[in-house]
Amino acid sequence: MSKQLDDALIWETIYGQVIGKANNYTIGNNGGLRHIIKNDRIRQYERSFIQQCRIYKDRHINSRFTLYINVWQSSQRYDLDNSVKSILDCLQYAGAITNDSLCVSLIANKYIDRANPRITFAIFPEDKELTF
């Protein structure tokens, strides 16, 4: 990443282990109709994310964007791709972005930090101009 781009990015940190979407749904039954619902772990992470999100909360980015993510997992067993899906959903729930389908580029890195799992992220809207 160029120094100019890095200087243009605004980074935010969210603490806690990202909960991936893949294995955190259960089957619900409502009057004979089966449906998939989120379990408590994913709901708790989403609430924590929204509560911690300060810089990007309610920005409602409504243009194509690149998402830069660094994910520090508590162990190697967590998948980066499932983390990214959860983070994109959380960004939408927090009002940072209007739709995760507007993400046109994704730069993601995975690290291990058993004592302090967290993510750092920055959103760079495509319509924003860089001055070099």
The 10s digit of each residue's pLDDT in 40-76 is 889 999 999 999 999 999 999 999 999 999 999 999 9
- Would you state the pLDDT for residue 132? 41
Contact in structure between 56 and 94 (CB atoms under 8 Å): yes
pTM summary value: 0.84
DSSP letter (8 states) at residue 130: P
- Would you state the pLDDT for residue 129? 59
Give me the residues of the chain with pLDDT under 70, please.
1-6, 22-30, 32, 34-38, 128-132
- Would you state the pLDDT for residue 27? 60
Go through the chain and tell me how many residues it has. Answer: 132
